[in-house]
Every structure is written in C-alpha cells, then in structure tokens.
Chains A and B, each alone.
Chain A
Amino acid sequence: MATTEKLMAVTGNQAVAMAMKQIDPDVVAAYPITPQTDVVQSYSQYVADGEVQTEFVTVESEHSAMSACIGSAAAGARTMTATSSAGFALMWEVVYVAASMRLPIVMTTVNRALSGPINIHCDHSDSMGGRDSGWIQIYNEDAQEAYDATVMSFPIAEHPDVSLPLMNMYDGFIISGAIGPLRPLSDAAVKDFIGEKPAVLNLLDSEHPVTFGPFDGLHGWYFEHKIAQNRAMEAALPVIQETYDRFAEVTGRQYQHLMCYDMEDADVAIVVIGSAAGTARTVMAKLKAEGLKVGLVKIRTFRPFPTAEIARVLSGVKAVAVLDRADSFGAMGGPLYLEILAALYHEGVHTKTVNCIYGLGGRDLYPQNIEDVFRMLADAAGGADLPQSRVYLNMKGE
C-alpha cells in the first residue's frame, strides 16, 4: 500500500482542510465568517459533497464554536475546529474550560494579529496569548508541516497519559494563503495512523454516569485539578516525540520539538517560530559560504516547552538572537524570549542573548533583516555587546 499520494499545489489552509477530511472527525463546530479562514470553507464543501461523515455545526460566534466543541468532546466524539486572530480571542473563556475538562479537541489556529489598529495580517499575538490556557501548542513552518501536524494531533491529544486539547499554528497569509507543495498521505495511511478513539468516560455512557465541569467552590479540588493539568502537560512532551517518531516511520519526515539546523558547529544562533525559519535558512546558506558559523533552532513544540532541550542545544553558542512575532508589553521581551531566558537560567547556561521583534501585523521580514541579526551576533561572539532592549526588525522611520 502506498502511504503517500503525489505532490500537489495547495494553500496552507487547503492542506489542513484536506488532513481534516482524511481524519473525518465525528464533529466539526466552527464559526463560518471572518476572521475565520477558508479551512472551514473548504471543510464545509467536503460536507456538502458527502465526502465526510462529520456532523458539521455552524454557530453564531467563536465562543459558541468552542462551547459546542466542548459539549461534543464531552459526549465522547472526536471533535475539531479552526480559528484565527480575534476569533480565537473571543473563544477565550471556554478555551480554558476545554483544557480543564481534559477534552482532546484539536483546533487549527491560523496565526494572525489582534487589533488595534485593525489588522488581520500575520503575527503570533493570538495564539501566544493562549499559551497559559492548558492547550498543547505546535507551531508549523509550511503547509506540509501543518498538514503533518494535523494528522499527528489526535494520537497526542487522546493519549491516556495526556488527554488535553491541542492547537496547531501556522503563519496567516504567508502560509495559509500561499500555494505551496504538499505531499499528502493516502486516506488509508491517515486512518491507520490515528486509529480508533480510545474509550473514555463520557456524557452519553448511561451505564457509567459522570459529571463534567461542575461548580467547585472554595473548599473543592480546583487547585489539585490545576496540578493535574500541569502533570498532563509534562507527560505530553515524550508522547509528542513518540508520535513524531512513529510518523517518521510512515512518511520519512522526522520532526522534533526543536528543529536544529547546523547547530553542531555554530558560533551564533537564531531561535525562531514558523515560516521565518525558512527565510533564515536561505540567509544561512549565504553566510556559511562566507565562513560564518551560523545555526538555527526552530521551535515546533511550544506547550509543553522543551526547557532542558533548548538549553542543551544553545549551550555551545556564544550569542543567541530570539525572534518574536508577538510582544509582551512591559515584560523584558516577547513571549519566546522570556521562555528561552528562563530555560537558560534554569539549566545554568550563560550566553549572550538579544530579543528581536519582527513581523507584527504582517510587517515583512526580508532576508536582509535576518542577515543583519546574524552579523550583529557574529560581532557579539567576537566580543561586542548585544543591545539590552528589544531590537525591532524592518521598523519604519529609522
């Protein structure tokens, strides 16, 4: 049996919709209007054409979309949805409920800015705001990664040691709206990879009646519940890697929490999330030809965060730039930078660091911007100081 189909030309959103079609979940509940992406539009076409068995529920808001997903997942149904930007923000209250009820809902969050000024272009401020919500977060570089991550989602989320909701991200427009190459798996290979949903306690099992999401007052078990959520997150880290490894056996495409490029002999490194990694690799090829020892770390798994691993891969370099496509106003830097600094301190790694903010609201990131960062790092490796405050890439007016 051939496990992969021939190469296709599709957008990032079409790639993810195709993965969803092959998964054919029991329920998809989604809000069908802007800021929703055409993931849902494509999926509704599959439903209309009878290509899936899914119960497709269109709702009146993103808050209702996640609420419907919670009800569906609590009833034991395999449940998916998609969102983006302000739509994710509107889900906020119930995003936390999904995680605390330990429901393995799988959601695509296409990374786009939060207003204002009114802007729907790419940045990571939507999903970064949800990093403490208790959802597993996987960030993808291109359409192929987003497709692959969607296929890998249920085996991670539904794993008995985990039982947590999972969201997959990829860059709005840059990947979501761009036509790129995709080599999908065959329908049978997807079905085989995700397997049957494990039996769990659910609302419709009248033989084993259970209560979901009840009131839990001052003297209840809320606190212990939160501890259990964190333990599940810790347990997810090895489960995610095992799933990545199993996927590699089927497809030959090997993923890691951190994807390292030329880190073995790197003097300096950039850490980045999403499509900017591809642009960075293009720049690295040029700089390596000049003899500069540059490396790149792309973060795929952001929640749970691979703390020890990031500290280990950065322990050998003399200077690191962390590129954030979101900011945390009033903090020492963007969300990824804070995470990396904490990891380095925790593991006792002392290296020079700088935080670069880029791409907010869809601002372009050019190869020259990344080259400038690598040259700044090379100077730092040679003894120069790095800026202590944020460096803004491709800012107007300077």
Chain B
Amino acid sequence: MTAAKMVAELAVERGKHFQAFPEYGPERSGAPIVAFTRLSSEPIQIYSPIEHPNLVLVLDETLVGTVDVTDGAPDDAIVIVNTTESPEEISAHMDFGSRRVMCVAATKIALDTIGKAIPNTPMVGAIAKATGLFTLDEIEEHLRESFGKKFSEKVVEGNVEAVRRAYKEVQG
C-alpha cells in the first residue's frame, strides 16, 4: 500500500483521479495479497476489483509460476517483477504471452539505498520508466515534500536514490 499511496498522491498532484485499495487476505506477514490502483483523467466511481489490469506489479517473485499473475491482463499489458533475474530468465517460470515483461531488483536496491527490504519505493521508479506516468523529477520532488516531514534526511535521500536506481536499472 505504500507504493499505491505514493502513486495516488502523485496522481493528485497532477490533477488526475485515482483509487487504491488492497484485498485483505490472511492477517499474517508474508501472506500473498493483492492490491489495486486505478488512475484516470475522469472521476472514478467504480468500486470493484480490477479484472483487466494494464500494469501488473509482482513484489514477490516466488509467485511467478505459482499463481497466474497475468490473470485477466490484456495482451498489451506490462508486468514488472521484483527479481534479480532477467526478463528471459523470469519468463522460463511461466508463459507471459505477448505481454511486456520487465524486471527490477527492487528489494536489493532498497537494501542498498534505504537499508531495509522494502521494495515499494524503487517499484515506483520502475513504474515511471515503464509507463511514463511520472518523471523522475516529479517523484523526487514528491518524496522530499511528503517524506521530508516525517523522516530524516538520510531516509529521504535513500528513497530518492532507490527510485533513481530502479528507473535506471529496470530491464525489458
């Protein structure tokens, strides 16, 4: 939800409409969960899970090949996987069809930059690269504005660096 909230706030700052919600599953750490985000230039009134996502983020690579992470995604959808593997290697675990597969080592980047295994912020950098919805500068400005109030400069700069690296390093 951290990534979803950041994308939502970025959308608000650009005058876009948004909606983000998790599907609450088993209440134990590490259990697989699904979360949804809608972005639109029109007000969003629909309150049901997304059935046909244009963009799928997989935060836990062990789900690839275990569940169909592309369920309902159209042929031109983009799938971004948090993994140290390449798009070719990750495609060996399941058939992504004609969908574009992108890979970013978001957890590793988070450990290097923030010092914690929280891949959310780097994933937002990968989203920016994959979709062009936000520029790096816009994300950086947002992080300094919103994180700057709550966290130390070290944490803020770590997150900024995480976004930059993910933007640069995402493959596919």
Contact = CB atoms under 8 A, between A and B. Distances in A.
Interface in B52-103: none
Given A177-B24, A178-B20, A367 B46 contact: yes
A313 B18 CA distance: 32
B22 interface: yes
Contact of B24 (A7, A173, A366): A173
Contacts of B4: 179
Contacts of A179: 1, 4-5, 8, 18-21
Given A179-B4, A179-B18, A181-B17, A278 B45 contact: yes
A129 interface: no
A367 B9 CA distance: 27
A9 B12 contact: yes
A314 to B, nearest CB: 22
Contacts of B12: 7-9, 181
Contact of A178 (B11, B17, B19, B51): B19
A64 to B, nearest CB: 25
Given A9-B8, A9-B12, A364 B20 contact: no
Contacts of A7: 12
Most A CB within 10 A of own CB, among B11, B47, B49: B47
Interface residues on A, range: 20 to 34
Helix, strand, loop or mixed for chain B's interface? mixed
Most B CB within 10 A of own CB, among A179, A276, A279, A365: A179
A282 B22 contact: no
A180 B24 contact: no
Interface in A192-221: none
A267 to B, nearest CB: 22
Interface string B1-36: 100110011011000011111101000000000000
Interface string A241-271: 0000000000000000000000000000000
Contact of B18 (A174, A181, A366): A181
A174 B5 contact: no
Given A179-B4, A179-B5, A181-B12, A366 B19 contact: no
A121 interface: yes
B48 interface: yes
Contact of B47 (A8, A9, A121, A275): A275
B21 A173 contact: yes
Contacts of A121: 24
23 contacts: A7-B12, A9-B9, A9-B11, A9-B18, A173-B21, A175-B47, A177-B21, A177-B22, A178-B19, A178-B21, A178-B47, A179-B4, A179-B5, A179-B19, A179-B20, A180-B20, A180-B44, A181-B17, A279-B46, A364-B49, A365-B47, A366-B49, A367-B46
Interface of B: 1, 4-5, 8-9, 11-12, 17-22, 24, 44-49, 51
Given A9-B5, A173-B21, A278-B46, 12 more contacts: A174-B47, A179-B1, A179-B5, A179-B18, A180-B18, A181-B17, A279-B46, A279-B47, A279-B48, A364-B48, A364-B49, A367-B48
